[in-house]
Structure 1
Amino acid sequence: MNLQEKMIARILFKNKVLSADAQVFENLFTSIFGYARPDFRQVKPQGNLGDRKNDGFEPASGRYYQVYAPENVQEKESSAIKKLEGDFDGLKSFWAGIYPVGIKEYFFVLNDKYKGAYPTTYQALAELQKKHCLDKAEVIACKHLEDVIFDELQEEHVYTIVGFLPDTTTIVKLDYSVLTEVVAHVLANTPNNAVQGKLVTPEFETKLVFNDLKVAASFLKAGSYQDNAVESFFKLNANFARHAVRQSLNDMYINAKTQGFVSDPISGLTAQDQIYFDVLASATPNSFSGDKRATPKAVQVLLSYFFESCDIFEEPINVTS
């Protein structure tokens, strides 16, 4: 995976994390550490006994992990501290004497949604470490999980976690059942910021240049070769579907523009390229049936269709003398 591909994969991973709460985030964490740490063991809840406050552990080194992923961590700080303290007591009472090493290190795995943990969380962990004579008691936040993925995992495992990257060479035939699934997902995104739609279709190449799309240009071109399939799909459905999908994608685009992307001369990704991949990630379902490669390709085609009509990215301004 080259630097450019890694940057795209990071955008996909960040989007996945931002939409993952509760069990979905815990599953994401255990998948990452299952690949990264040979001794890592996931704990399956056992009926009414649950997992005995243990979401994963490495017995040989005495490392134990507990996951916390509320919908809004910024509003649940007191709950986080309560869970941290209460869960560790439950963890220690059951697990401390099972393996010879005992509990040496404790990690509070927090889906902070890239916002960081509060000082009181670190304070509580420091007190916990001192009280129970631990070697470590630390937070594992989203940025730490990202580091594990891209610094420790084999490339094939990275793809398993973040999904397949968009491909410019293998879009051959678009499956209508896949497109239906993508359209349903995009429709589920309620538009809040979308502006009035434009039905004009400016020159494709001109728009790519005008919007400073370089790396993303090849993905948009590849998708455009199948945009007739999107048009056929919409012809078979009510006009509402076309306009509603357009509004949702435009809303995703407007939101991506607020993320503060900047051009990276090392990887060659412009800020606009990164906006494209952010929209691609937002429009791709986290889970889908059938061919896992087909759905991202269908999303590529869908974005190309609405790119051509200037519903995502900007319409070139014709300057007349």
Structure 2
Amino acid sequence: MSEAYWYRLHFKVRLYESDGSAFQRLVSDILHARFEGFVPVAPAGRLGDGGNDGFVPQQGWYFQVYGPQAGSSWRPAAVVRKAREDFAKLRDNYPDLRRYSFVFNDRYLGEPKGLLDALRDLQAQTGVPCDVVLGRGLADWFMALPEDKRQDILRGIPVEPPEWVDPRAVGEVLSSLADADARFDPARSLAPDFDEKIRFNGLPAFVASRLRAMSYQCGMVEEFLALRGQHLAQAVAQELRQLYAQSLEKFADDPDDPPALRYVWLIEQLIPAPARAHPHSLKAYREAAEVVLAKYFESCDIYAQPGPGGGAA
């Protein structure tokens, strides 16, 4: 699998996590990187944003962004109504309107019933081109950006994160791995059912290859836990099982790559907030997180175990 696939998975996880203002910021970052002269718009008092979440003045192209809360159920009729109402506001408030895009976080579930028809009707009535941009379209725009801009968008962190100590048991393991030089043990054998478990869980080749590569560093995890004691090892395993159970619910409805999405999401959940402030720390913690996942993949604390009744949750 290519590097592009890895970027797309990380973006998809970010999309799943974003709603409300977080989704609007994500879309704004993409539009700013994609369109020269893009102007984001924040609501202004009781007047709101006039149906305008951002626009490209040179083109008269206006965007309205809607991201329902993650895990909530939205009614297609309500989405259609919002798209119509926001278009009407734009017509009233922005006479230079020449194109309208309704950006909706469908989380890869597809177009809400009736939305495209409503936008076609608006276009026929007014002569203003109208379209909808869903998750897949946003992903395509994101993937078309240069790598440095993709890195900036995925990082998306405060310049000065608050002082914070990771209280999790897994935090001790991650800190140790991130601070240490990578140490591979080529003589280390994979768990006997490693490949069978890969197939059983439907993991794509790219994720499988990363798990295999990181498993040769698992000795570092085992040595650390041996020094700290069985209590910490059990606490880390429990935290991983809980995170994996959350990932099962979060991506249950995704039609494409739920096993791979869970893997990327687990990595991001393991990284402590302060590590995101610095690219080098972030890279070290991401690799440390993958080593931890490889270790607990082998021990069957995450992902399902082959065989009748096998499971990890």
Correspondence 1:31-70 to 2 at 5 A = 31-70=29-68
Q: 2:53 and 2:117 mapped to 1: Cα distance?
A: 22
Q: Which amino acid aligns with 1:280?
A: V
TM-score by structure 1 length? Answer: 0.69
Superposed CA deviations along residues 40-84 of structure 1, whole A, max 9, x for unmatched, are 211133333332221111111111000111136753222212211
**Which secondary structure does the structure 1 equivalent of 2:18 belong to?**
coil
Q: Which amino acid aligns with 2:274?
A: S
CA root-mean-square deviation: 3.7
Query: Paired residue for 1:241, among 235, 238, 248?
Result: 235
Match of 2:181 in 1: none
Correspondence 1:55-94 to 2 at 5 A = 55-71=53-69, 75-94=74-93
Deviation, structure 1 residue 119: 3.5
How many aligned positions are there? 269
Match of 2:19 in 1: 21
CA contact (8 A) 2:247 2:265 kept: no
Match of 1:114 in 2: 108
Match of 2:184 in 1: none
Match of 1:306 in 2: 296
Tell me if 1:204 matches 2:194: no
Superposed CA deviations along residues 210-242 of structure 1, whole A, max 9, x for unmatched, are 445642235423652541486379759778733
Q: 1:86 and 1:233 mapped to 2: Cα distance?
A: 62
**Which secondary structure does the structure 2 equivalent of 1:289 belong to?**
helix
Evaluate the alpha carbon distance shift between residue 301 and residue 216 of structure 1 in structure 2; reply closer, same or farther with a 3 A threshold: closer
Query: Paired residue for 2:145, among 143, 147, 153?
Result: 153
Evaluate the alpha carbon distance shift between residue 132 and residue 225 of structure 1 in structure 2; reply closer, same or farther with a 3 A threshold: farther
Percent identity over the alignment is: 23
Structure 1, gaps ≥5 residues long? 97-101, 165-175, 185-201, 263-273
Query: Paired residue for 1:251, among 245, 248, 252?
Result: 245
Q: 1:257 and 1:76 mapped to 2: Cα distance?
A: 19
Structure 2, gaps ≥5 residues long? 157-163, 173-187, 199-204, 308-313
CA contact (8 A) 1:66 1:108 kept: yes
CA contact (8 A) 1:249 1:283 kept: no
Q: 2:137 and 2:252 mapped to 1: Cα distance?
A: 25
Deviation, structure 1 residue 91: 1.9
